[in-house]
Amino acid sequence: MILLRRLLGDVLRRQRQRQGRTLREVSASARVSLGYLSEVERGQKEASSELLSSICDALDVPMSELMREVSDELALAELAQSAAGDAVPAPMRPVLNPVSVTSVTGRPDERVTIKRPQEAVDVVAA
Residue-level pLDDT at 120 = 46
Written as one letter, the residue type at 108 is P
Task: Write the CA distances from 34 to 4, 23, 29, 119, 122, integer angstroms.
Answer: 21, 6, 11, 58, 48
Which has the higher per-residue pLDDT, 78 or 121?
Answer: 78
Which pLDDT score, from 0 to 100, does residue 2 have? 86
- The average pLDDT across 22-32 equals 96
Collect all residues with Cβ–Cβ distance below 8 Å to 79 and sequence separation of at least 6. 126
Report the DSSP beta bridge partners of residue 100: 115
pLDDT band at 7 (very low <50, low <70, confident <90, very high): very high
Average pLDDT over residues 73-88: 79
Q: For residue 125, which amino acid is it?
A: A
Q: Stretch 12-17: mean pLDDT, rounded?
A: 96
> Residue 81's pLDDT is what?
85
Do you know the residue count of the chain? 126
CA distance 27 to 58: 8
